[in-house]
Structure 1
């Protein structure tokens, strides 16, 4: 019997994750069954259960992967001295998130019915009732937050940002901005990343009244 290559195993896992993400974004977690996932990916139950024990494990894998991609983007920015300004940085990360949904790590389309923002809204809702998923999200958020704090500390060390404000507070605000933009995309329709970049530039341009 021929031995299955690691490349084949990785590709099959990728196929299952992408199909499950499309189903969840399209119909929600509760309305999506494992049978729906099997139909979407056109695989047998045995082929899918070889990689994932069930729906909850699929959801956790998707959440972990997305948060990991966002963390990597900010860790890369933190290694620059100084990091790019917030409008450039947030725009870059949001573009990477769109890349995760547009032929990147997750097979979702930004403007289609199976969009990354819709998926994330449902993930946030699901964490309110699912303790295990909530822990996955909390752990992921902690790693993302740590990466953003490093970025803010880079701004402060370079004299580009006030140093008397806790870096963690600024990091949380930047995360909230990105999350809010994603929520608007899901609820009110898509908008280019330039919108959030322009908004940040406007806020950054404020000066005390003369």
Structure 2
């Protein structure tokens, strides 16, 4: 019997994950059965169960992959010297996250935010998935904190604010944008980038006496 190549095994696993992601995003985790996944990927039960034992393992694999991709994007950005500004990094990360699945194309761009929001909800009832998400969040937060510290050292960002607070807020902005897309429809990542640039451009208000003296 001919040996199956690793490339073939990886492609088959990718096929299963892509199909499962589409099913979960369309109908939710609880309304999706393994039969739905089998039909979506057009594979036998044996072929699918060779890779995943069931829905829970599929969900965990999808979440782990997304978090890993996002973490890699932040680490790559952090290696640049000087690091790109936050709005650029967030745009790159969001773009990579939404484009994770080449097979999803336009449909994936429209429904993938829904999948992410469903994952958040599922973690409230699934302790194991909650552990996966919390671990991934910690891995994402750590490089963000380091990036903020580099911004502060370079004078690109005020240094009297906790780097941890800034990192959490930037992550929250990305999460909120994902929630908006899930609820109200897909928007270009540039919308988030423009908004971040606008917020970062804010400075202390100029008093009327100062503006007068500057004009004179």
Structure in which a larger fraction of residues adopt helix:
2
What is aligned with 1:28? 28
Q: How does 1:1-210 map to 2 (within 5 A)?
A: 1-101=1-101, 103=102, 107-109=103-105, 115-210=111-206
Distance 1:24 1:122 in 2: 8
Q: Distance in 1 between matches of 2:105 and 2:26?
A: 11
Secondary structure of residue in 2 paired with 1:21: helix
Gaps of 5+ in 1: none
d(CA) in 2 for partners of 1:115 and 1:109?
Answer: 10
The structure having more radius of gyration, on CA atoms, is 2
Distance apart, 1:138 and its partner CA: 0.4
Question: Structure 1 length normalisation: TM-score?
Answer: 0.94
Alpha carbon RMSD of aligned pairs, Å? 1.4
Report the 3-state secondary structure (helix = DSSP H, G, I; strand = E; otherwise coil) of the residue aligned with 2:104: coil
**1:149, CA displacement in angstroms?**
1.0
Show CA shifts across 1:159-179 (max 9, x none): 111222121111000000000
Q: Residue 82 of structure 1: CA displacement?
A: 2.1
Q: TM-score if structure 2 supplies the norm length?
A: 0.92
Give the gaps of 5 or more residues in structure 2: 207-216
Shift of 1:111: 5.2
2 CA distance for matches of 1:166 and 1:125?
A: 29
Aligned pair count? 206
